[in-house]
Amino acid sequence: MKREHLIKPVLDHHYPTIQYGKGVYLYDDQGKAYLDASSGAVTAGIGHGVQEIIDAMLEQAGKVSFVYRSQFTSEPAERLAKKLSDLAPGGDYWSFFVNSGSEATETAMKIAIQHWQEKGRLGKNKVLSRRMSYHGITMGALSMSGHVLRRRRFIPLLEDFPVVAPPYCYRCPLNKTYPACGLACADDLETAIKRIGAEHIAAFIAEPVIGAAGGAVVPPEGYFKRIKEICNRHEILFIADEVMTGIARTGAMFAMQHSGVEPDLMALGKGMSAGYTPMAAALVKDHVMEPILKGSKSIMSGHTYSANPQSAAVSLAVLDYMEKHQLVEAAKVKGSYLLARLERLAEQFEPIGDVRGAGLLLAVEFVSDRISKLPFPAGLGLTSRIIDKAFHKGLLVYPAAGGVDGAGDAVIVAPPLTITEAEIDLLVQLLEETVREVLQEIS
Ligand code: PLP
């Protein structure tokens, strides 16, 4: 192996070098084109190489790229915080800007705990979450994450927060069927609260649509209303992790808008800057900030690059671009077109057990048998085979751990919201070839 210096995800794997990106395509230094049907890691929401964003970045860089948040504020950061509050469910949010989704969920967790401390409720410091969830890779975020594979190495250092059943109707962890179940998975939160004691719990965190840990798993109707009722009844804050779903991805600016619930806190990342620069945020409702404003007046968190003016300017430009090109609506319209195409694919291939999602956050789950819904043996590595084969064909899709404890195979299809119908047709054609060839290989 050639001596290398850059640590890449798999150390003995060859990664092509990308030269440039335009629209839904990335081009490597050998001239090969990749149709970015995953927006990277569900991030490049407006596609690559958009000149307006590059111009906004340059304009801000021409004024100032960095100020330290303990010394100054900046006009783009102030404007972005106001804009996000205006767009968010019910308004009245404050923004704490950070640099990654993991920092956003972890900051939300810390603010929730601090909220109760400032009220003198010192024992409320656990943050419950669901199995089959992913909230980030840093230790606090990983403590909240039910992603079995990503937790495994660090279990002795982690809190055991993911204790609640996920709303995974395709293979219900409680062996029930909606609507006869009466939303038993939501009630599982209440069971956990009673077991642990509300006096020890600061917050409950959940993804509006489960991403990497499940593959675009949409909860049943009424789920989040019930969750919020339970949280309110037990004086527990509700944190919506909108890192993957937020900023138009699911056909609403925030996925929580589909269920009419106003979270007490939200975590944002990925689509916020559409990948043009690192940017993420914890959004906090007025009533959560209130005891902090009356008390210590300072949130005990922050990073050197928090509220970076250049990233804020990029984020504002991304939001303007989305409004100008009506990308919330596009996610809905293109999403239903792509969903219908994927459903047709499922008719052709018996091992496609489920096709699901919201807007342009869609997924395909594979099972060895449609009746029992048993997954393929883990050793077969079906998800990796599909990802690799698609990559070889110039199609990028994103891996998800299907199944409640990661025992399953699913791929996420989440192209930029700017994708055209013709590009969707090509995407589906490449995916069809991929699935056919992989299934032949393993049969
Ligand atoms: N939360 C959710 C729902 C995510 O999907 C992710 C990343 O995939 C994160 C948090 C962590 O974000 P980041 O990778 O930017 O730290």
What's the ipTM?
0.99
Candidate from 23-32, 138-147, 268-277, 398-407 with smallest mean pLDDT = 398-407
Identity of the residue numbered 195: R
Consecutive H or E run containing 285: strand 280-285
Residue 418 CB partners (closer than 8 Å, separation 6+)? 23, 24, 46, 47, 325, 327, 330
Atom of ligand 1 nearest to the CA of 141: 10
What backbone phi and psi angles, to 5 degrees, belong to 16? -60, 155
Query: What distance in angstroms lies between residue 42's CA and the mean position of ligand 1's atoms?
Result: 10
Model confidence band, residue 1 (pLDDT cutoffs 50, 70, 90): low
Atom of ligand 1 nearest to the CA of 100: 15
In this model, does residue 4 exceed pLDDT 70?
yes
What are the residue ranges of helices labelled H in 24-74? 39-42, 51-63
Query: What distance in angstroms lies between residue 388's CA and the mean position of ligand 1's atoms?
Result: 22
User: Per-residue pLDDT averaged across 378-405, rounded?
Assistant: 93
| Residue-wise pLDDT tens digits, 126-178 | 999 999 999 999 999 999 999 988 999 999 999 999 999 999 999 999 999 99
Query: What distance in angstroms lies between residue 90's CA and the mean position of ligand 1's atoms?
Result: 24
Residues touching ligand 1 (Cβ under 6 Å) are 41, 100-102, 105, 134-137, 207, 211-212, 241, 243-244, 269
Query: What distance in angstroms lies between residue 243's CA and the mean position of ligand 1's atoms?
Result: 6
Which mutation among 132, 134, 205 tests ligand 1's pocket best, with the greatest number of atoms within 8 A of CB?
134
SS3 92: coil
Token readout for 79 is: 């404007």
Closest residue to atom 1 of ligand 1, CA basis: 135
For 413, half-sphere exposure in the C-beta direction (CA atoms, 13 angstrom radius) is 29
Atom of ligand 1 nearest to the CA of 101: 12
CA distances from 225 to 128, 176, 215, 219, 426 (A): 17, 19, 22, 11, 39
SS3 322: helix
Model confidence band, residue 407 (pLDDT cutoffs 50, 70, 90): confident
Distance CA 109, CA 266 (A): 10
CA distances from 326 to 181, 272, 311, 330 (A): 38, 16, 22, 6
Which mutation among 270, 277, 361, 398 tests ligand 1's pocket best, with the greatest number of atoms within 8 A of CB?
270
Q: Tell me, what's the pLDDT at 400?
A: 94
Identity of the residue numbered 304: T
Rounded mean pLDDT of the chain? 97
Contact 55, 64 (CB under 8 A): no
Which mutation among 243, 254, 279, 305 tests ligand 1's pocket best, with the greatest number of atoms within 8 A of CB?
243
- Identify the sign of the CA torsion 357, 258, 322, 76: negative
Q: Tell me, what's the pLDDT at 3?
A: 86
Q: Tell me, what's the pLDDT at 61?
A: 98
CA distances from 433 to 141, 339, 349, 399, 428 (A): 37, 17, 11, 18, 9
Query: What distance in angstroms lies between residue 398's CA and the mean position of ligand 1's atoms?
Result: 13
Which mutation among 39, 100, 102 tests ligand 1's pocket best, with the greatest number of atoms within 8 A of CB?
102
Query: What distance in angstroms lies between residue 2's CA and the mean position of ligand 1's atoms?
Result: 32
Consecutive H or E run containing 35: strand 33-36
| Residue-wise pLDDT tens digits, 97-109 | 999 999 999 999 9
The position carrying tokens 């929580």 is: 256
User: Per-residue pLDDT averaged across 295-303, rounded?
Assistant: 96
Distance CA 14, CA 17 (A): 9
Q: Tell me, what's the pLDDT at 404?
A: 77
The 8 Å CB, 24+ separation contacts for 88-91 are 88/253, 88/254, 88/266, 88/283, 89/254, 89/256, 89/257, 89/260, 89/261, 89/262, 89/263, 90/262, 90/285
Atom of ligand 1 nearest to the CA of 245: 3
| Residue-wise pLDDT tens digits, 227-280 | 999 999 999 999 999 999 999 999 999 999 999 999 999 999 999 999 999 999
